[in-house]
Amino acid sequence: MSPRQSPSDTGRLAHFITIDGLKRDTLVRILDTADTFQTASDRQVRKFPTLRGKTIVNLFFENSTRTLTTFELAATRLSADVVNLKLDHSSTQKGETLLDTLRTLEAMHCDLFIVRHSDSGAAHFIASHVGDEVSVLNAGDGQHAHPTQAMLDCYTIRRHRPDLENLRVLIVGDILHSRVARSQIMALNTLGVRSLSVLAPPTLLPSAIHALGVDVADNLDEAVVDKDVIIMLRVQYERMREVHVPGPEEYRRQYGLTEERLARANPGCLVMHPGPINRQVEIDSSVADGPQSVILEQVGNGVAIRMAILSMMLSS
């Protein structure tokens, strides 16, 4: 049985595994809720009693200090109790199965698992096996999805350009292996941007890319023209054993966002990147640190969007 993630009549999200299948008004409600937390955060009131008494477990099978910290802060600022479990080996060290580990945590009355895993489908698998009282949030599973990243990206775009339906967005980089890109494409299409294009090295473009509802560009100098938002993806050499990818310098020459290229985009075109960035590879430092970059804003918005999603999953 597939886990129910669509909101119930009360608007509560049981799980948050993928953008796929979520309706436009659910995404808009997430963005609106994040606005509340972000506004409060700007006023230096950053602690909310919303999830007091709830227990949130960070279940990280894949190491990511940055993502773990964001979720820990989001949960803590909502006054939840947080337990961080890095389960590379400790869970299986006594030969316990994953399901027994889950059932054990569930029995301890944990309310929500934030799952990070290198296997596509892991969060979905876990959500299919937990009881009704436990919610599962996908913090990145293999090459499948990273839905909170996609939501924070949409949130960042909307804060600068509320007229989403007029925007032309370009995503550049390793689309094939990117759970971030997959989730971004679904979210941006659901929110109804005017046009959405991707550009990737040929070996890093999924064969079924058109089924995702995007245009495919093949020359970055031309593709940037008339764009309002350019999202650069991280080159992850460690995930690219089997495919041919150009080296850093050649990659930059063909697929890197330079000042020259950015100058060809629409005035005020936003520059985004999920981080961490490879400077002078997919993005030049002068662009990443330049006036059109909202990369650090994405990070801050990431806390607000995760507070929004956690509160929509758990508050009663």
Q: Residue numbers of the site for a second copy (CB under 8 A)?
A: 41, 44-47, 52-55, 63, 65-66, 69-70, 72-73, 76-77, 81, 83, 85, 87, 90-91, 93-97, 100, 103-110, 275-279, 296-300, 302-303
What would the DSSP string read from start to end of 52-96?
A: TT-EEEEEESS--HHHHHHHHHHHHHTT-EEEEEE-SSTTGGGT-
As measured in angstroms, the least distance from the Cβ of 255 to a second copy is 18
As measured in angstroms, the least distance from the Cβ of 100 to a second copy is 6
Dist. CA 214–CA 184, nearest whole Å: 11
As measured in angstroms, the least distance from the Cβ of 221 to a second copy is 27
As measured in angstroms, the least distance from the Cβ of 293 to a second copy is 11
Query: Is the dihedral angle over the CA atoms 10, 16, 17, 18 positive or is it negative?
Result: positive
**In this complex, which beta carbon is closest to a second copy, that of residue 49 or of residue 202?**
49
Dist. CA 202–CA 59, nearest whole Å: 35
**In this complex, which beta carbon is closest to a second copy, that of residue 90 or of residue 166?**
90
User: Would you give the DSSP letter of residue 43?
Assistant: T
As measured in angstroms, the least distance from the Cβ of 239 to a second copy is 11
**In this complex, which beta carbon is closest to a second copy, that of residue 36 or of residue 69?**
69
Number of H helices, E strands in the chain: 11, 9
**In this complex, which beta carbon is closest to a second copy, that of residue 45 or of residue 208?**
45
Partners of 149 in beta bridges: none
Dist. CA 240–CA 68, nearest whole Å: 24
**In this complex, which beta carbon is closest to a second copy, that of residue 6 or of residue 315?**
315
